[in-house]
Structure 1
Amino acid sequence: MTFKTKFTITLFAFVLAFSSCNTEDVAEQNADEAALSTNKEVNASTSKVGVCSEVPGWASQNGGTTGGGTSAETAVTTYAQLKSAIENTAVKVIKVSGTITVSARISFQNQTGKTIYGTSGARIVSTNQTKDGSGIIYFKGCKNIIIRNLIFEGPGAYDTDGWDNATLDNCQNVWVDHCEFRDGVDGNFDIKNKSDFITVSYTKFTYLKAPKAGGSGGSDDHRYSNLIGSSDSATADRGTFRITFARCWWASGCKERMPRVRFGKVHIINSYFNSSVSNKCIAAGFEANIKVENNVFENVKTPIELMTGLTAVTVTSGNVFTNTSGNKAGKNTAFTPPYSIVTLAASAVKSDVSAGAGATFSGNTCGSF
């Protein structure tokens, strides 16, 4: 073989290799861009770690949600320390470790720019099932709050007209991320009284304890997870309750209210419903405006309940219903969210959410989309 022939072959091989590498680089770049593109379906998990500025959903609006940011942390391991840190407006980041049992519901009031998060396995627990003594944390009049990587554990459902594990009351710009709410007395996590611009992401709702019957409220099984809006007559709530539930999991034991909505513009996207004891899942109440997008409903009853006086429910074609009974259809045309959010194809939702929802991080690590 002549030198010229050898050189030609070598040059051709080099060009071919360069072209192949360049093609792979372009393909990788295109894949990255596709994963980051807005409102575009993808077939695998796209959640990333470490980009705290990328708040998904409604909490990204109205100036955004940053919590306490990079402020110095205050570490707590006891009820007294937790209560003190929550009530101290100068404390901007609270790190919870271990299991803290609350002796009375903690009031988290009138604060702006604060983060409360848990280290791996951190739990805040209540064992009180009475009307006045139940509940864990009550957020009222707060703005720009982040709650992350915490387990809120109640003593089990008991209809004494008691309190939820956590309640947002007239709060704005709150991001609840990678938490678990289990076994609340009245409910797991409720949102009321003009609260607005809320995102709940990668959060798990469940009941692991049997409900206690015979409460004064009248229900023998009050495993009702999430209530949005307290009354049809609370018309001051109109124009608020802009809430996103993204990649959440209504898991075993949830009976109803996943969620039950009044007034709000609520976006439920890429979430997983698989409680086999369910009576109903998403309930559209008075003036509710709900977009139900690319979720998975599995082994549940009445995925969508259309109640009297609703505004609209849009159930997109991307939802999956497996072994369900009862209504699956919407009514009228719901709102269009003003934000962009990466959307999983429904085929990827079950594996992504069941692996990622709940207090699955090691601390104050951000899970953006």
Structure 2
Amino acid sequence: MRRARRIRRLLQVAAVVGLLGVVLSTPAGADARDISRDTLAADDGWAAAEGGTTGGAAADDAHVFTVRSRAELVRALDGGSATPKIIKIAGTIDANTDDDGHHLDCDDYATDGYSLKEYLAAYDPRTWGSAKPSGAQEEARQASAAAQAARVELLVGPNTTIVGLGSGAVLKGASLQVKNADNVIVRNLELRDAYDCFPVWQPNTGGLGDWKTSYDTLWLSGATHVWVDHITASDKGHPDADEPTYFGRNYLRHDGLLDITTGSDLVTVSWSRFADHDKAMLIGNSDAATGDRGRLRVTLHHNEFEGVVQRAPRVRFGQVHVYDNRYVVPAGSEYRYSFGVSTESAVYAENNAFTTPSHVEVADLVKSWNGTALHQTGTLFNGFPVDLLAIYNAYNSGSERDLTADVGWTPTLHGTIDSARQADRDVQRGAGAGRVR
């Protein structure tokens, strides 16, 4: 009997060792399932319209790449070529590296005698005035900025899928740019800290002047049929709150987390997390860009905006469906607004949940610049249903033009729309990189 028990025990141990052997022999960066050839569902938002979005699903085996460095990623992107391709990112890739993989910091990019100390001395408004910066230090800043841009701006071409492997895929320091390209998918990837080493001083911005930065973490410019799913985008590593103040203005180092501009169209952003950032998402970049009429059609669903100060999103011209999203304003954090209603925008907002501290009121959730309409239903504010539009109009009566509920369109491309309460729970559990089911 005792011998039989020992045999059973040895067999159990052997089974466990065998299982461990399988786990340990799995290649680093392997995914639980291959999501790289997934395509957007037929009813999943604007990116499903007019032929849908398939990314690089048609890629042959020779154009499926697993990349672990900036150099490998650049080669796989192939200069933005239209060849169908699937790019799988394994581990962490730092865009601020040289061709040998050595990390580059801001001092490595500085050239032609640029120094922040001398730049501040040259363009101090008390002595320089309100003219646009020019001369040696501004020229040196531009040359230094160009050196960084050559490293961190990564162009994504048509018919491309970029997907993170597993739960730890990170692209940091990069500005991933989809410019004038059709049919792109970005999924299951953490995009972190597109950090601008060389902001420019703009004396006349906002009346008091301001610092302008480059490098959206993900920028869609003239892009069509784009699906962004299960990404996490933030300033992790270099929060702007830790930056100093120069000329009375915060020395910002980050632009947008995801900006959709310059005639981009047919975009779905789903199950993603945008965190700890100032200006999160701009849809339409100029009141004067009347060519954007009929474009900038975007769906945002099941996303989380946590610690975002503003632009979640701010919209010009576009027909934007915003449903089942989760908004969290941490206690003590800066907050301005979530829905920015701007020139000719047509935002259709349904069943979104907001959790805020006491200093944020319902009317603060919306800000209008020349906007005329906002459709909203099912809004949940700190656990209570509210009529966001009615409260906004009552609060701003006499100071801003009332917004109408008629945005001129009704969304049809969507799956089941859950209650805001249900979406709040589901998004908290399921949004962001590493959570694809």
- If the length of structure 1 is used for normalisation, what is the TM-score? 0.73
> Which residue of 2 is the match for residue 332 of structure 1?
405
1:164 is paired with a residue of what secondary structure? coil
Cα RMSD between the aligned structures?
A: 2.4
**Aligned mates of 2:375, 2:194 — CA distance in 1:** 36
Residue 284, structure 1, aligned to residue 284, structure 2 = no
1:344 is paired with a residue of what secondary structure? coil
Deviation, 1:338, is: 3.2
Q: Which letter does structure 2 place at the counterpart of 1:60? A: A
Residue 314, structure 1, aligned to residue 369, structure 2 = no
Q: Structure 2 regions of 5+ residues with no counterpart?
A: 1-34, 97-150, 200-210, 236-252, 390-402
Deviation, 1:322, is: 1.2
> Which residue of 1 is the match for residue 41 of structure 2?
54
- Cα distance change, pair 292–303 in 1 and its aligned pair in 2 (3 A): farther
Residue 151, structure 1, aligned to residue 203, structure 2 = no
CA distances 1:121-151 after superposition (whole Å, capped 9, x unpaired)? 100001xxxxxxxx52111011011100000
- Cα distance change, pair 74–93 in 1 and its aligned pair in 2 (3 A): same
Q: Is the 8 A contact 1:85 1:91 kept in 2?
A: no
1:350 to 424, 428, 431: 424
1:247 to 280, 298, 302: 302
1:258 to 286, 301, 312: 312
> Which residue of 2 is the match for residue 205 of structure 1?
274
1:83 is paired with a residue of what secondary structure? helix
Task: Give identity over the alignment, percent.
Answer: 31
CA distances 1:85-136 after superposition (whole Å, capped 9, x unpaired)? 1125335100000100002223325x3211000012100001xxxxxxxx52
CA distances 1:182-232 after superposition (whole Å, capped 9, x unpaired)? 11811211010000000000010002xxxxxxxxxxxxxx71111111110
Deviation, 1:309, is: 2.3
**Aligned mates of 2:194, 2:183 — CA distance in 1:** 29
Q: Is the 8 A contact 1:168 1:192 kept in 2?
A: yes
Corresponding residue pairs, total: 289
Q: Which letter does structure 2 place at the counterpart of 1:98? A: G
> Which residue of 2 is the match for residue 94 of structure 1?
87
Q: Structure 1 regions of 5+ residues with no counterpart?
A: 1-48, 127-134, 208-221
- If the length of structure 2 is used for normalisation, what is the TM-score? 0.62
**Aligned mates of 1:281, 1:360 — CA distance in 2:** 26
- Tell me which protein shows more helix as a share of its residues: 2
2:309 is paired with a residue of what secondary structure? coil
Instruction: Report 1:129-148 matches (<5 A).
Output: 135-148=174-187
1:146 is paired with a residue of what secondary structure? strand
CA distances 1:214-251 after superposition (whole Å, capped 9, x unpaired)? xxxxxxxx711111111101111111110000100001
Instruction: Report 1:156-305 matches (<5 A).
Output: 159-183=211-235, 185-207=254-276, 223-251=278-306, 253-276=307-330, 277=333, 278-299=335-356, 301=360, 302=363, 304-305=365-366
- Cα distance change, pair 265–53 in 1 and its aligned pair in 2 (3 A): closer
Residue 112, structure 1, aligned to residue 151, structure 2 = no
Residue 66, structure 1, aligned to residue 39, structure 2 = no
> Which residue of 2 is the match for residue 39 of structure 1?
none
Q: Is the 8 A contact 1:74 1:91 kept in 2?
A: no
Q: Is the 8 A contact 1:272 1:297 kept in 2?
A: yes
Q: Which letter does structure 1 place at the counterpart of 2:193? A: G
**Aligned mates of 1:197, 1:249 — CA distance in 2:** 21
Deviation, 1:331, is: 2.5
1:149 is paired with a residue of what secondary structure? strand
**Aligned mates of 1:140, 1:124 — CA distance in 2:** 19
